[in-house]
Structure 1
Amino acid sequence: MIQKYDFLVIGGGIAGMCYALSVANSGKGKVALVCKTTLDEANTAKAQGGVAAVTNLAVDNFEKHINDTMVAGDYISDLDAVKHVVCNAPKAINALVNWGVNFDKNNNGEYDLHREGGHSDFRILHHADDTGFEIQRGLMEAVRQNNNITVLENHYAVEIITQHHLGVQVTRRTNNIECFGAYILNPTTQKVDTFLSKVTLLATGGVGALYSTTSNPVIATGDGIAMAYRAKATVKDMEFVQFHPTVLYNPAETHPAFLITEAMRGYGAVLKLPNGNEFMHKYDERLSLAPRDIVARAIDHEMKIHGLDFVCLDLTHKDAEETKRHFPHIYQKCLSIGIDITKQFIPVCPSAHYMCGGIKVNKNGESSIHRLYAVGECSCTGLHGGNRLASNSLIEAAVYAQSAAEHTLNTIDNYNFNTLVPEWNDEGTLTNEEHVLITQCIREVGEIMSNYVGIVRSDLRLKRAWNRLDLLYEETEELFKRVTATKDICELRNMINVGYLITRQAIERKESRGLHFTVDYPKHAYDQR
């Protein structure tokens, strides 16, 4: 089955929905918003802390936000990209508010701003401790009310369509690769349909599900990055996987681990060992408010030298009622497992959280493949560099969605549908009866990535990961060719592809920098520039 949409948006978080809303009423054509699950399950909804933007010019300014971002990124960040996001952040906040998103305000009617690790000022807009959920709610309502947007839930993108599918040999040296749409699995028919588009935007989120412990939902399997890479797009900075320092240690839960927002440390929570001893003074003068890479490595080191499964956050010194008001969801979650955070320490440990690299894009959100854009966590704008500054991700998605929308609206009239694209060919394939193989392989990927490509790495660990992933790749590709396409085997295929990219680019970086710390090339243990 062939379907045609002028704008094809793959992914339903803040990036995909902001873009869809920005182009929907342009009169330039129809918009399809494709989600692999339901619209409310995007990773955006899991973000607790907030959105970073300079809104209080009486005490804050763009230069301070720019400098904080460069420092946190270990000076690998692209300065132009940083300026682009920081200077356009207030405009993006206004757009979110106009679409129905609410941010908390104080008694004076001004935004109630938080401060988080790595920030030199209070600039984090939030909605209690469920900011991502509020953003997702507001944007979902706006999208569902827009008659120009067709939402296709539980549809799974299998591959990006390029000249390769027209019989042309495409390599990484091929100039002018073009995207004509995507092959998408229909949940009703279980057939792969052909979606032709004039412009395609990937907003497929992150890669956390590659790791055995993650704050991400199970859907964060790196689909967009893998599809773009197979289509020969440039993928960059994949070695920089951010581990959130503090997720709730709760062995009874697997994916996703419950996030204890960075805003809690900004509020005054202190990192301690279970015996009550503080330890961050050994690693950074900013103590518990140091950037995430430093805090995550410090916690990892303390856990290893003391043989611990977790460390603790202590905010028992703060006013109990104020704590409940600021962090109602965290308070209730901890209470559900017998921890009163106003009286007891919160057990926490690091967990895979955010991908700083991804599909390389310019300031318009354009990838190296013509007519293919990428926005949000699946993209690499250059903003994050070696380490993402807290709460810069949601604002990056909103800003670049707007930039991509403006660019596509100015260029889409130059494009036509490519009607020569063939439909998906599954002739001769069989129904997969070996689901146990896929389940086991997914488990293996998680173990490989967590054990060998985690917070602290070495050449030996990375080489072992490479060899294990190579074997899984060969086995999975052979199975993929034999069976009809299903969501689970496509996700496994993507996870292996992305795991390979993370490992390969980690091997290529012969230094410790930002989130990439290797014992074979230590710049200096816990050095933060």
Structure 2
Amino acid sequence: MVKTEVLIIGCGIAGATAALQLALDPGRQITVITRASDLHESNSRYAQGGIVSRNSDDSAELLTADILAAGAGASSPIAARILAEEGPPLLEEILVRMAGIPFDRDADGQLIWGQEAAHSRRRILHVGDGTGQAIISGLIAALRRCPNVTIVPDATAVDLITFPHHSRDPLAVYRPITCHGAYVFNRREVTVHRYLSAATMLATGGLGRIYRNTTNPPGARGDGLAMAQRAGARIINAEYVQFHPTALAAPGAEGFLISEAVRGEGGVLLSPDGRAFMADYSPEWKDLAPRDVVARAIHHEMETHGYSHVLLDIASRMPAHAIPARFPNIYATCLQAGIDITREPIPVVPAAHYSCGGVWVDERGRSTIENLYALGEVSCTGVHGANRLASTSLLEGLVWGQRAAQHIENSLNCAALSRLPSPADVPPWDSSGLVAEPDPALIQGDMQTIQNVMWHYVGLVRSADRLSRAVRELRHLWNEIETFYHTSKLSDGLIGLRNAVEVALTVALAARHNRQSRGCHYRQDAASGKGNGLI
């Protein structure tokens, strides 16, 4: 059993930022756990395009307006304003000064500002096309220098410890739901430990792996969202799953993200026969339309004409020597797949990319469960509404990571640990009677079923019939997986499978309930023409 003041589950930009801010108090005890062996592995690591800030010709008002426009009427104006006002100064303070992130600069030492879709100004800071990797490397290096931060790899959170659910006191049922930490599966020891904490932060990332085609890494199974839901937290906007328009469509490299910045630098989408088509769907923005519009346009072209993919042409729009310099990772990955992007267009398809909904939190990252905070993609701050504006997710993780840490710091006192439940109050994990090893064939087969159901029935284009079919199939699968889970020994794969079906069903139910098309939730049978449908 481990006792700590603050338990942070996940170490992407949101979790790492929170840990760094809390660590400024040398007396504070912080524990960060991650299911990965590599501390750098997270959704944040794979962010290519960059992170939004503000240039000299920009303002908080303009950035707020762009966020609200992309959110299709469902973004919180308060949250958007917080991001636009507080984000750029925090970026300078935490990422540049504390973590030393070397954002790209020109020969005169001035920052290079990138353009991305639906932004009215050039306001994207980047490190080539590996911004997420650079940010995470800097943040983890900074965390390693903090003696009061303990980072535990190969540690998969199984469930939150909450009272009254896990309390031995029958009178606890009359008190509000309160989080006291988590049960954590040690992947190396194959054991479950109790981590008791005064405050718990979910920073587990997204859920893209519940879809067949996704840009997300293997750990994006919706773990945090599933745990929060089982504990009774409020979940909102789950239907708003953003599909990135351009994932590489090449054997062996499926799901590799082709950054929005490629279109920001002039890249144009073409049909396989060379026809530019985005003006037909968004005459004003064309190839720089919001992601939901571009993704549905590509889907419509593929479905209508039977294309297996469309093409993204940057070769004829940018000098050949400049392409590898601006997009080194994209250039190298495509070259390995046999595509020279300085000479030929890139085959692309849409893929599940980002969950705009999640665990409801307030302006300080607090959920509806006492002592439980949620940060980053697992949360729903209201910033993204029905469709996320490009390159705002990293900044949201930074801002709410700092805000939640500040709230915890102000709330905790020296008696925090003494208020924790004693080990006798929290039952240890009970795995008695479990002798069956978790069958990897069943785990893989069930996961593929989830992914196919979600892709075909709860994907870019939805309808009542498709969603009802998805709900029926997922409910049946949920029952099968729960039986599998309760009769087998634990493994990371089994934990992820249980979480994936829970989250898939949550998304499908939310999508079926919302009969109006808006942003990245598009219903063929929409009850109203309101919202941003466009196609």
TM-score category, normalised to shorter length: over 0.9
> Please, which of 243, 249, 263 is the counterpart of residue 265 of structure 1?
263
Q: Secondary structure at the residue paired with 2:183?
A: strand
Asked if the contact 2:70/2:388 (under 8 Å) is kept, the reply is yes
Change (3 A) 1:307 1:169: farther
The range that moved more, 214-223 or 337-346, is 337-346
The range that moved more, 369-378 or 34-43, is 34-43
Q: Distance in 2 between matches of 1:376 and 1:174?
A: 31
Q: Secondary structure at the residue paired with 1:161?
A: strand
Asked if the contact 1:513/1:523 (under 8 Å) is kept, the reply is no
Asked if the contact 1:298/1:526 (under 8 Å) is kept, the reply is no
For structure 1, the residue ranges without an aligned partner over 5 or more in a row are none
> Please, which of 510, 519, 524 is the counterpart of residue 519 of structure 1?
524
> How far 1:299 moved relative to its partner?
0.2
> Please, which of 458, 461, 477 is the counterpart of residue 463 of structure 2?
458
> How far 1:309 moved relative to its partner?
1.0
Aligned match of 1:70: 68
Q: Distance in 1 between matches of 2:253 and 2:271?
A: 22
Q: Secondary structure at the residue paired with 2:412?
A: helix
Aligned match of 1:93: 91
For structure 2, the residue ranges without an aligned partner over 5 or more in a row are none
Asked if the contact 1:245/1:350 (under 8 Å) is kept, the reply is yes
1:489 and 2:473 equivalent?
no
> How far 1:27 moved relative to its partner?
3.2
1:501 and 2:514 equivalent?
no
Change (3 A) 1:345 1:181: same
TM-score (norm 2): 0.95
Change (3 A) 1:207 1:387: same
> Residues 29-178 of structure 1 correspond to what in structure 2 (within 5 A)?
29-37=28-36, 38-54=38-54, 56-57=55-56, 59-94=57-92, 95-98=94-97, 99-163=99-163, 164-167=165-168, 176-178=176-178
Q: Distance in 1 between matches of 2:169 and 2:368?
A: 18
Alignment deviations for residues 348-404 of structure 1 (CA, whole Å, 9 cap, x no partner): 110000000000000000000011000000000000000000000000000000000
Asked if the contact 1:297/1:455 (under 8 Å) is kept, the reply is yes
Q: Secondary structure at the residue paired with 1:197?
A: strand
Q: Distance in 2 between matches of 1:36 and 1:258?
A: 22
> How far 1:25 moved relative to its partner?
2.8
Which amino acid is 1:314 matched to? D
> How far 1:435 moved relative to its partner?
2.6
> Residues 269-418 of structure 1 correspond to what in structure 2 (within 5 A)?
269-285=267-283, 286-317=285-316, 318-413=318-413, 415=416, 416-418=419-421
> How far 1:28 moved relative to its partner?
4.2
> Residues 435-454 of structure 1 correspond to what in structure 2 (within 5 A)?
435-454=440-459
Asked if the contact 1:25/1:148 (under 8 Å) is kept, the reply is no
The range that moved more, 160-169 or 261-270, is 160-169
Identity of aligned residues (%): 40
Alignment deviations for residues 113-161 of structure 1 (CA, whole Å, 9 cap, x no partner): 0010010000001001110010011111111222111110010000000
The range that moved more, 315-324 or 485-494, is 315-324
Q: After TM superposition, where is structure 1 displaced by more than 4 Å over at least 4 residues in a row?
A: 167-171
RMSD: 1.8
Q: Secondary structure at the residue paired with 1:247?
A: strand
TM-score (norm 1): 0.96
Change (3 A) 1:3 1:526: closer
The range that moved more, 33-42 or 233-242, is 33-42
Q: Kindly tell me the number of residue pairs found equivalent between the two proteins.
A: 523
Alignment deviations for residues 81-106 of structure 1 (CA, whole Å, 9 cap, x no partner): 00011101112211111222221112
Asked if the contact 2:185/2:192 (under 8 Å) is kept, the reply is yes
Q: Distance in 2 between matches of 1:434 and 1:138?
A: 39
Q: Secondary structure at the residue paired with 1:179?
A: strand
Q: Distance in 2 between matches of 1:138 and 1:147?
A: 17
Aligned match of 2:13: 14
